[in-house]
Amino acid sequence: MTAVGTLPATPSRGTERAVSQRTRTLITLTVITAVAVGVGVILSLFYAGTDVTQGNVQRIFYIHVASFFGAMVAFGAGVVGGIAYLRTRNPKWDTLALAGCEVGLALSLVNLATGSIWARPIWNTWWTWDPRLTSAAVMALTYAAYLFLRNGIESPETRRRFASVYAILAYSTVIVTLVIIRIRPDTIHPAVIGRSAASAEGGFNLTSSMGITLAYHAVVWLVLVPLVLMWWRIRVENLADQVREARARVAEIG
Amino acid sequence: MTTPETTAFMLFGFAVTFGILGVWGVMLAARWRSLRHDLEVLETLEREDG
């Protein structure tokens, strides 16, 4: 609100104020997310009951499952950004897609790593070419390739168009990874929610404390974690855009 | 039935989770600092040449 007798804020001051307001919001959201993740770890350790057949290692399943949900949301942002860019040609949507794919990759690495660590004492191996594990690995590699390939294209317009189409098509690997334990009867990967395949090994029945802990993790990793990580990534990409623009201006002067 | 002792794997799992996210965060922060530095240099050049 402008006080009587004072000049209205200039557009640049207004923009600066909006940026600092967004920064404050992001920092607040980051702190809330960190606390929420910490509370989740406490719930996993002290609230959820111990699985008698697996011992404490079962507790990392909450993060294992929730990080996959987070990756799904982040990769979904890649699809939204890709479709919106192809429709509008606004580079901001490509930035959203890039952030989504990169954050999704980080979260799917968490999912793969925690799964592998859980598998060692339960399946007696770090890795096996089970349909679910293979599809999860293909998914992560597909998105790693997205980051490498888009960096290899010089023309910004071509890069954005290619990356948009790629991000949309790559989501098929997420869908396959999600449904494969329901459609392949030979998988040994247990389904945490719903019925597992007859061949599944290492499944467990969710008690009420386990269900509440899993639901809490799912909400935190589905909403807060991808949102905050993608927001930070978008900020870095916006700064990179400013550097590219400044570089072009300096080259023109020179 | 005896519950197996798998606490070390659980701790390893949590450490790897926060390790991956921590490394990603540190890389992002390093990139931010490097870009800020580049922008300051370019803006100085722009002022001097312009």
CA atoms within 13 A on the CB side of A7: 5
- Name the band, by pLDDT with cuts 50, 70 and 90, for residue B3: confident
The pLDDT of residue A197 is 66
**How many angstroms separate the CA atoms of A197 and A191, rounded?**
8
Write the pLDDT tens digit of every residue in A26-41. Answer: 999 999 999 999 999 9
Work out the mean pLDDT of chain A and round it to a whole number. Answer: 91
Would you call B16 an interface residue with chain A, using a CB distance cutoff of 8 Å? yes
Write the pLDDT tens digit of every residue in A96-142. Answer: 999 999 999 999 999 999 999 999 999 999 999 999 999 999 999 99
Q: How far is CA A16 from the centre of its chain?
A: 29
Name the percent of chain A lying above pLDDT 70. Answer: 91
Q: What is the ipTM of this complex?
A: 0.92
| Both structure tokens of A152 | 């290899």
The pLDDT of residue A247 is 92
Q: What's the pTM?
A: 0.90
What is the distance between the terminal CA atoms of chain A, rounded to a whole angstrom? 43
Write the pLDDT tens digit of every residue in A236-254. Answer: 999 999 999 999 999 888 6
Residues listed for chain A: 254
Nearest chain B Cα to A232, which residue? B28
The pLDDT of residue A86 is 98
Nearest chain A Cα to B5, which residue? A55
Q: Å from B22 to nearest chain A CA?
A: 10
Would you call B12 an interface residue with chain A, using a CB distance cutoff of 8 Å? yes
Encoded amino acid at A37, one letter: V
A125-132 long-range contacts, Cβ below 8 Å, gap at least 24? A128/A188, A130/A187, A130/A188, A130/A189, A131/A180, A131/A181, A131/A184, A131/A186, A131/A187, A131/A189, A132/A177, A132/A180, A132/A181, A132/A184, A132/A187, A132/A189
The pLDDT of residue A15 is 75
- Name the band, by pLDDT with cuts 50, 70 and 90, for residue A4: very low
Other C-beta atoms closer than 10 Å to the C-beta of A153 total 14
Q: What angle do CA A116, B19, A140 make, to 5 degrees?
A: 50
- Name the band, by pLDDT with cuts 50, 70 and 90, for residue B43: very high
